[in-house]
Chain A
Amino acid sequence: MSQVNALSIEDLSFSYSGNKALDHVGFNIQSGECTLLLGPNGAGKSTLFALITRLYDARSGRIELCGFDIKKQTGKALARLGVVFQQSTLDMDLTVMQNLGYHAALHGMGHKLAKQRIQQELERLNMVDRRFEKIRQLNGGHRRRVEIARALLHKPSLLLLDEPTVGLDVPSRQDIVEHVHRLAKDENMAVLWASHLIDEIYPDDRLIILHKGQIKATGSVDEVLQQTGATTIKDAFYALTQGAQG
């Protein structure tokens, strides 16, 4: 029996007033896999995330989360999804607990279960001591940790992270990179991580290189190196996105 993909995208295209942001994009992600979506600014990463989370409607192509069509079975699909957006989506005037409690309520968790899950995720991220602090009082790294804890509260099968380390210092970045890789392994969770930072890649990660709305390469790190004939991912990335800015 074949395993159901945590995320399956088929022939996905999307345009903003005539300008193609995504052009016939397709790939699969399985449980336990950490997949890095690499691409320069404007490659279409955020558009792809907006389509997977159904903030935008995919007019052509198909997106399935754990076998559920995002268009036809939106509720079931979104219940299996945890998201960390590029921009912070926390409420600055609420405490860590209140922000997480709000998310738990949106996912239909009862008070007891919510409290237990919040405790569990905050412990995992060493944030229990900060739980009664307002988000405004936390630094960038801690805010990101809270967002990751929030995305995991309802135990999703697929975790989407849209450049979650942007603007963080090196230790905070490393913490987050390590934590997410551990999650994929320990929890058998599928992770799709959008980034333009090559040093966030682990050797056993899978890669998707997106440029100008098209997939330029996909596969394991070794496979991408083979496809491009490059010796490092950095060289492969530049070869595939040559002429792109930033």
Chain B
Amino acid sequence: MKILHYWRAMWGIIWRECWRFVTQRERFVSALVRPLVWLFIFAAGFRSALGLAISPPYETYILYEVYIVPGLCGMIQLFNGMQSSLSMVYDREMGSMRILLTCPLPRWFLLLSKLLAGTAVSILQVYVFLGVAWCYDIRPPLQGYAWILPALILSGLMLGALGLLLSSLIKQLENFAGVMNFVIFPMFFMSTALYPLWKIKESSALLHHLAEYNPFSQAVELIRFALYGQFNQHAFIYTLAAFIVFMTLAILGYNPSKGMMTRKGGGG
């Protein structure tokens, strides 16, 4: 009976998140427009400026648009993770988070379910984006669309856990702008999403190291290899380890006896 309770609660949380996403049309459109702008405008402009050598998982010369697609899939998940984090802060301020946290299930499970829900939404967005990219003639092997799913689950969980961790640290909604400046942008630009590591090394050794150790880079590489039917073990282990670290810290952050919740204060 207890397992059934966990199962129903998890599906309830995932259903609510997906329903909210689908019914909030503006959110759906803006989530899709962002990577498409990068693909259609930025990548088209950069195509001639950036020469790409043959490097795994690619077996031939590729256009910049082809290179950038896995990075944009990662970007969708990065923004979605932060959006979930923003909605957690909002929910906490508006009170609806309390309903979740006062239900009779362990807090780690509720947070994990919330994370899975956010990941499910991000995967939905990635597949719609890949569909549009396919129409734009960016066509990875068909089996890549299946291989990418486990990679997207892990990268979505890792980026979502980072968002969860941040939401446990952010005291007010207003502070969220800081997350954009200090987390999302540096993570995105200091990664292999837009340019390969060897290209970064040519301009700065420090940037190269930062990009190499950036968990977002590893998530993007995991997605990139999976999309071409290959398994990048290093990226997998790195992303998994980052997920475990972020998730553990997020659970501690939301633990009433150890975390930040008691320090946030309350009313009357």
Contacts and interface: CB of A to CB of B under 8 A. Distances in A.
Interface string B23-50: 1100000000000000000000000000
For A17, A57, A83, A108, which residue has the most chain B Cβ atoms within 10 angstroms? A108
B94 A55 contact: no
A54 B102 contact: yes
Given A78-B104, A105-B8, A90 B96 contact: yes
Interface string A26-55: 000000000000010111111100100111
Contacts of A183: none
Interface stretch (A3-11, A93-101, A167-175, A215-223): A93-101
B256 interface: yes
Interface stretch (B162-170, B175-183, B193-201, B259-267): B259-267
Interface stretch (B12-20, B208-216, B242-250): B12-20
A110 interface: yes
B256 A55 contact: yes
A56 interface: yes
Contacts of B237: none
Nearest to A82: B102
Contacts of B96: 89-91
A55 to B, nearest CB: 6
A101 B12 contact: yes
A91 B261 contact: no
A86 interface: yes
A88 B95 contact: yes
A81 interface: yes
B16 A91 contact: yes
B266 to A, nearest CB: 5
Contacts of A107: 5, 9, 103-104
B9 A108 contact: yes
Contacts of A109: 8
A106 B105 contact: yes
A31 B106 CA distance: 27
A55 B106 contact: no
A69 B98 CA distance: 20
A86 B20 contact: no
B266 A74 contact: no
Contact of A87 (B9, B13, B95): B95
A87 B256 contact: no
A197 interface: no
B99 interface: yes
A43 B267 CA distance: 9
B95 A106 contact: no
B11 interface: yes
B204 interface: no
B141 interface: no
B57 to A, nearest CB: 41
Given A44-B268, A45-B268, A89-B96, A108 B16 contact: no
B128 interface: no
B257 interface: yes
Nearest to B12: A105
B4 interface: yes
Contacts of A142: none
A53 B98 CA distance: 9
Given A106-B12, A107-B103, A93 B256 contact: no
B105 A102 contact: no
B101 interface: yes
B19 A94 contact: yes
Given A54-B102, A55-B261, A107-B104, A102 B95 contact: no
Interface of B: 1, 4-6, 8-9, 11-13, 15-16, 19-20, 23-24, 94-96, 98-106, 256-257, 261-263, 265-268
Given A53-B101, A55-B101, A110-B4, 8 more contacts: A47-B266, A89-B95, A89-B96, A94-B16, A94-B19, A103-B103, A106-B99, A107-B103
16 contacts: A16-B265, A41-B268, A46-B268, A47-B266, A53-B102, A81-B102, A93-B20, A93-B23, A94-B16, A102-B15, A105-B15, A107-B5, A107-B9, A108-B6, A108-B9, A110-B8
Q: 4 nearest interchain CB pairs?
A: A105-B12, A108-B5, A57-B257, A87-B95
